[in-house]
Amino acid sequence: MKYLTRSVWILSIVSLLTDTASEMLYPVMPLYLKSIGFSIVLIGVLEGIAEATAGLSKGYFGNLSDIKGKRVPFIQAGYALSAISKPLMAVFIYPLWVFFARTIDRLGKGLRTGARDALLSDEASTENKAKVFGFHRSMDTLGAVIGPAFALLYLYFNPENYKTLFFIAFVPGLMAVLATLLLKEKKKKIAEKKQSVHFFEFLHYWKQSPVRYRKLIIGLLAFTLFNSSDIFLLLKAKQSGLNDTMLIGVYIFYNLIYALFAFPLGIMADRIGLKKMFLAGLLLFSAVYFGMSSTGNTTMYFVLFFLYGIYAAATEGISKAWISNITERQDTATAIGMYSSFQSLCTMLASSLAGLIWFKFGAAAMFMITGSAVMLIVLYFAVIIKEQQVSNT
């Protein structure tokens, strides 16, 4: 496994630790915010602003990373901001300061995403790109198993003691920051293009990008518009009779399957082609949504979340590997950053659209419409998109 270089291992461990810290707080965040006086509306506004901050900043900082020809400083600063935000959420209880702390966390994600994925791409060749991204996704998602499991155990012995959990989450976050200090910038640096860049300059890349990149991004974003929050899947399971403990259990189970399969499916994708693997993932997504349109028992939901974990493993890392294979090395962070920016915005729209359909026509209609729409997107990928590669080594 020579393709799992020192930098790939460090980035993967850093992601595992950071996701452990973040996902440790994911199940309790709404409960904590309500305990300090946040209304449901205010929580929604907070999360909307936080996600918009992360989304837009991914494109800007990805472009800036390419322009400066540096990856490591963006990665280190991004993970540092996310780590600092954890205890700040517990210290600051006034809404304005909570907004500030939550935005700091999401800004950290925006700061590091493009540079981190570009560094992963730099460490791989076109022949093993999916393996590298798949391994990273496996390690990252393992944190999404450890974090909620720890939170569940902690709250069992310390019910409603949310604030202490934020301080505990700072520990793996700090360990992640310290691990980033082991990263080294490549000696062969990308030539610096200019000293300054305005916030939306990354949008100019659309016209400069290869046609195959634009076709791919159109397909990926079309899918994102129908890929609403996982909360809707959990809500459907809850309405069908799963209790709270079972609900958290099925969420942990989904992340475990994702973590276990991302690396093996990355290896397979490099052998059979990234497009085939991605299409297989989309077909599984449709199958899960069609399955969710009917009411089932606990066993059925575990089967569906098993398939949903396979879908995530077959698409998340694969899409970024695919993007990096069809763009030039000096533009990788910009290409992934711009996609990630639009992806975040489309995800917000997708959840709003799904919620509206659910409210107007019911859960079954929302899941059926989504499953059918994604089948059309599969057709787009099958007919329009050709898997072409450029040298990225």
Q: Confidence band (pLDDT; 50, 70, 90) for 236?
A: confident
Q: How would residue 390 be classed by pLDDT, with cut points 50, 70 and 90?
A: very low
Lowest mean pLDDT of 131-140, 223-232, 366-375, name the range. Answer: 223-232
Please give the average per-residue pLDDT across 182-194, as a whole number: 67
And the tokens for 121? Answer: 């791409």
Which pLDDT score is estimated for 387? 61
Using the predicted structure, report yes or no on whether residue 393 has a pLDDT greater than 50. no
Name the token pair of 342: 């639009």
Ordered by start, the domain boundaries in the chain are 6-181+203-384
What was the pLDDT predicted at 91?
A: 85
pLDDT tens sequence across 17-62:
999 999 888 767 767 777 777 775 676 677 667 777 777 889 999 9
Instruction: Say which residue, 365 or 40, is predicted with more confidence.
Output: 365
User: 0.85 exceeded by the pTM?
Assistant: yes
Does pLDDT of 386 surpass 80? Answer: no
Question: Helical H runs in the chain?
Answer: 6-25, 29-35, 40-68, 72-91, 95-122, 129-157, 162-180, 205-208, 211-224, 231-239, 244-272, 274-292, 298-325, 332-361, 363-384
* CATH number for the domain formed by residue range(s) 6-181+203-384: 1.20.1250.20
More confidently predicted of 312 and 37: 312
Residue 157: CB atoms within 10 A of its CB come to 7
Highest mean pLDDT among 92-101, 162-171, 242-251, 366-375: 366-375
pLDDT at residue number 2: 81
Mean pLDDT computed over every residue of the chain:
87
Residue 69, by phi and psi: left (phi above 0), alpha (psi -120 to 50) or beta?
Answer: left
Angle at 170 between CA 164 and CA 172, to 5 degrees: 120
